[in-house]
Structure 1
C-alpha cells in the first residue's frame, strides 16, 4: 500500500500545474507598449520596448513581449511609432515681479508640463519664499506643476538692485545667510553681484560648499572666472562668463576694473575683443576637470540681441503670459529701442561671439546644462516653450541632437547628484517621461512633438496637455479683460 501511494504521489508531481497556480503577472499602474526608447546616455534608439510604472517609479523596462507577459496595468498606452525620452529639465528659471504677480507666476507651472518639462531649477527671483512653499505643495500633490528645485533667496550685497535677497556686508552676514538657507532646506545657493563685494562673493561660495551646498551665480566683474572656480562655484550661469574665461588678458582687465582704471563698458569691450581660443580651451578643460557645468541661456541672449529684427508682438506664446508679467518685459524693450545703429551692431556681435564658444565647451568636456532664464523681466522668454528654442540653438551652434538632448535630460540630474534617480528610462528611475511623435536624435525639433507626458507616474495625454494650455490661456484672457476695464 505504501509503495502504491508513493507511486501515485510521484505521478501526481509530474502533472502540469493548473493555470491558476502559475505565476500571476505583476501589477503596474501604467504600461507603455511598443515604444522606441531613446537611450540618451549612449545616443541610440532601442526599438519595441515596454515600460511599466508603479507610483512615481519605473518598475520594469524591456522587450515588449517579455514585459507584456510579466505585467498587467490599470492603464495601457500604445506607443508604436513613438519615441520615449526622460523628462526634460530647465535648469534656469525665475518666478517674480512682486506679491501682486503671484497668481500669474503660478499659472506658468502647467506650461512646463505641457512642454514636456518635468523638473525646473528655480534660480531665484523676488518671490523666493512663495516658490519654496510651491516646492512642498508640488511634492505633496497639492499643487500641479513640475518638480521644483530652488535656491530660495539669493545672497547679495547691501541694498542690491535685485529684491528677494539675503543682504550681506560682512563675513558674519554671509555665515548667517548660509545658516538660513540650510534651515530653509534649499537645493542650492544662488549668489549675485549687484552690490556684493568681490571678496564676499568668494567667501559665500566657499561657505556654501563647506555647508554641503552647490553654489551658482553671477561672477563679479572685479573677479576672474578662475577665482570663482577656485573658490568652488559649481555652475556658471550664462555663456558670457564662460567667454570671459577665454580672454587672454582677463586678469589684467579685471584688475584694471577693480582699481577703477576702466569702467564697466570699457572692461566689457576689452573682454569681448580679447578672446583667445588656446586660452579658452585650457580654461574649459580645467572647468571640466573640476566638474563645473555651464548653463548657456542662449535663447534669451539671442532674443534681446535681435529685438531690432523681431518685436515679438505676434508671438502666439504671449497668450499664456499674464498682463503684469508682460509688463515686466518693458525695461529691456525700451532700452533696446533707444540703441543706436552702432549699439545694435555691437549687441549682435556680442551674442555671436558668445554663442560661438558652445562647441568649444563641448569639445573640452564641459557639461552643458539646458536652461532658459525664463520668467519675469526676461522679455519674450516664454516658460516651457523656450527650452525647445534653447535646444535648437545648441544644435545650430554645433552640438549634435544627442548632445543637446542630454543637456536637457541628464545634465541637470548630474549637477544635483541625482543620476541614480533621473536622466534615463530605466528600472528604478523616476517615472518622468515624454512620448514624442518624432525622433529627437535625428531632429532636435522633435522635442516639441509631444504625444504625452508621464509626470511622477501619472499619464498626461495629448488631450490633457491641450487642456492645460487652454486653461492657462483662459486665465490670461480673463486677466487681460480685467486690466482693460475702467
Structure 2
C-alpha cells in the first residue's frame, strides 16, 4: 500500500478514536506509520502508535504509510518589545505548533513575567501553544543595554537573583548576559547556579575565555560566534588585554577573528563534549543579518503573521546594516562564512548541537516557526547529515533538560508530542516542512486545524495592521 495516499483518505485511515479501535485503551490511534527512530537514524516500518492522555501507551506493527517522529524543539526563542506588544507576542505561539514545533526554550526578552505566566497557562491547558521552558529574567550588570533583567553589582546581588529565579519564579534555567556584567560576577553567577543544580546559558564576556566559562560550569553556549572564539590561539591573552583596557572591543574582535586555529579549536571542542556543554548555533539569524544588503525581505509571505509592533523592532538592525560601507559589508559576509564553517567541527568533536533560531523581536526577518526549518536546512548545507540535523531538533533539547526519558522518541512511555510528515527527513531535511499533522500533548492537530491556526494569526495581524497609525 503506497505511503502517498490522497490526504482525505490518509486521515480517514490514519486517525481514529479509541471507541473505534481499542475501547478504554487509547484516545488516539495512529496507524500505517513509518516511525523515525532518531537516535539510531532508522525507519521502523508498519507501525501503529496508541496515545492515551498526553502519553504514548503502545506501539506495534501495522501497514506502511507516512513518517512519524518526535515533535521539534526550538531551543532559543525570544518574546519582547515592551508591554504594548504582549498580544502580538502571544500570537506567535500557534506559529510554532503549525510548523511542527511542540517545545520552545525562551532565552529571555523583556517580558519575563508574562512569559512565565504563559508557561503556566500552557501547562494547565488554559492557553494553546508549544510546551514552554523559560529562563525568566536574565541576569545582567547595572544599567544594561537589555531590558527585562535582574541587575547585579555584587556577589550578594547574584545570590539574591538566583534565590528569586529558583524559588519565586521557578525558572527552567538561568540566562546570563554580558552587556554591563562584571566578568568575575559572570563566573560567580555561573558557578553558583551550578551549585544549585540550575542549568545556565548566556553570552560570555569578551574579557573572559570560553574555557573560563566552561570551568565555571556553563551548560550551553548560545550563538556560534562564542564557540568560534574557543578556537582562537592566544584567546586568553586577547581576553586579558581587553579586560585590562589595553585594547578596544573592535581590536579584540579583529584579533579573535584572525586568530582561529583548527587544532586549538578541536581541542577546545573536545573539552566541551567531555564536559557536556551544548552549543546552540542560531546560524540562520546570523545569516539573515549578514545578508541584509543583498536579500530583500519586504515581500516575505511570512510577514503576514508578524504584528506591526514586532515588525517595527526589526528596524534598528535594518538601519544599522544600511549604514555599512562596502568594506564593512564584505567583512560581514566573510565573518559569517568563517564562523559557520566551525559547525561540522563541533559535530566531529562530539559536541551536542541544539537547534535554536533566536527568532522573535529585534531579530529582523528571523521568523518564529518556519525559522527552525531554515536553521536545519543550513545545518545540512554546512555539512551535517539530515539525521544529525534532525537529532539537534528532537533529542538535543530533551537531553539538555535531562528529559530524554519523556521526549525524543516515538515509543511507549514517551510524551505524545509528535509530528507526521509526507516524506523521509532522514533523506531530505526539507521533508519536515511537509506537515500533515501534529500531536500536541496527546491532541491531534490535523492539516485543517494547522491551517486554521495560521489563518487565525494572519487575521489578527491584518486587524492590527489596519488599526496601526499610518506613517
TM range (shorter): over 0.9
Q: Please say if 1:173 is aligned against 2:157.
A: yes
Residue 115 (structure 1) shift: 0.2
Return the alpha-carbon distance in structure 1 between the equivalents of residues 378 and 112 of structure 2. Answer: 30
Q: What pairs up with 1:291-310 in 2 under 5 angstroms?
A: 291-310=276-295
Residue 25 (structure 1) shift: 6.3
- Secondary structure (helix, strand or coil) at the match of 1:312 reads coil
Q: Please say if 1:63 is aligned against 2:61.
A: yes
Return the alpha-carbon distance in structure 1 between the equivalents of residues 288 and 192 of structure 2. Answer: 36
Return the alpha-carbon distance in structure 1 between the equivalents of residues 470 and 105 of structure 2. Answer: 36
For 1:53-72, what per-residue CA distance to the aligned partner results, in whole angstroms no more than 9, with x for missing partners? 0000000012127xxxxxxx
Aligned residue for 1:188?
A: 173
TM-score, normalised on structure 2? 0.94
Q: Please say if 1:414 is aligned against 2:399.
A: yes
Aligned residue for 2:256?
A: 271
Aligned residue for 2:376?
A: 391
Aligned residue for 2:246?
A: 261
Q: Please say if 1:339 is aligned against 2:324.
A: yes
- Pick one of 409, 428, 437 that aligns with 1:443: 428
For 1:91-139, what per-residue CA distance to the aligned partner results, in whole angstroms no more than 9, with x for missing partners? 0000000000000000000000000000000000000000000000000
Aligned residue for 2:201?
A: 216
Return the alpha-carbon distance in structure 2 between the equivalents of residues 158 and 258 of structure 1. Answer: 18
Aligned residue for 1:122?
A: 106
Aligned residue for 2:237?
A: 252
Aligned residue for 2:52?
A: 54
Aligned residue for 1:459?
A: 444
User: How many matched pairs?
Assistant: 449
Aligned residue for 1:105?
A: 89
- Secondary structure (helix, strand or coil) at the match of 1:28 reads coil
Aligned residue for 2:3?
A: none
Aligned residue for 2:26?
A: 28
Q: Please say if 1:140 is aligned against 2:160.
A: no
Residue 194 (structure 1) shift: 0.4
Return the alpha-carbon distance in structure 1 between the equivalents of residues 117 and 349 of structure 2. Answer: 39
Q: Please say if 1:379 is aligned against 2:377.
A: no
- Secondary structure (helix, strand or coil) at the match of 1:172 reads helix
- Secondary structure (helix, strand or coil) at the match of 1:41 reads helix
Aligned residue for 2:67?
A: 83
For 1:135-170, what per-residue CA distance to the aligned partner results, in whole angstroms no more than 9, with x for missing partners? 000000000000000000000000000111000000
- Pick one of 227, 233, 236 that aligns with 2:221: 236
For 1:160-196, what per-residue CA distance to the aligned partner results, in whole angstroms no more than 9, with x for missing partners? 0011100000000000000000121100000000000
- Secondary structure (helix, strand or coil) at the match of 1:203 reads helix
Return the alpha-carbon distance in structure 2 between the equivalents of residues 25 and 300 of structure 1. Answer: 48
Return the alpha-carbon distance in structure 2 between the equivalents of residues 343 and 256 of structure 1. Answer: 25
- Secondary structure (helix, strand or coil) at the match of 1:31 reads strand
Q: What are structure 1's unaligned runs of at least 5 residues? A: 1-23, 66-79
Return the alpha-carbon distance in structure 2 between the equivalents of residues 185 and 26 of structure 1. Answer: 36
> For structure 1, which segment, 264-273 or 366-375, has the greater mean C-alpha deviation from structure 2 after superposition?
264-273
Residue 81 (structure 1) shift: 3.0
Return the alpha-carbon distance in structure 2 between the equivalents of residues 448 and 484 of structure 1. Answer: 35
- Secondary structure (helix, strand or coil) at the match of 2:40 reads coil
The Cα RMSD (Å) is 1.0
For 1:415-437, what per-residue CA distance to the aligned partner results, in whole angstroms no more than 9, with x for missing partners? 00000000000100000000001
- Secondary structure (helix, strand or coil) at the match of 1:27 reads coil
Return the alpha-carbon distance in structure 1 between the equivalents of residues 454 and 316 of structure 2. Answer: 27
Residue 26 (structure 1) shift: 5.4
- Pick one of 261, 271, 274 that aligns with 1:286: 271
Aligned residue for 1:203?
A: 188
For 1:237-285, what per-residue CA distance to the aligned partner results, in whole angstroms no more than 9, with x for missing partners? 0000000000011111111111111111111111111100000000000
Return the alpha-carbon distance in structure 2 between the equivalents of residues 478 and 25 of structure 1. Answer: 45
Return the alpha-carbon distance in structure 2 between the equivalents of residues 276 and 314 of structure 1. Answer: 41
Return the alpha-carbon distance in structure 2 between the equivalents of residues 62 and 264 of structure 1. Answer: 59
Return the alpha-carbon distance in structure 1 between the equivalents of residues 364 and 69 of structure 2. Answer: 30
Return the alpha-carbon distance in structure 2 between the equivalents of residues 247 and 142 of structure 1. Answer: 48
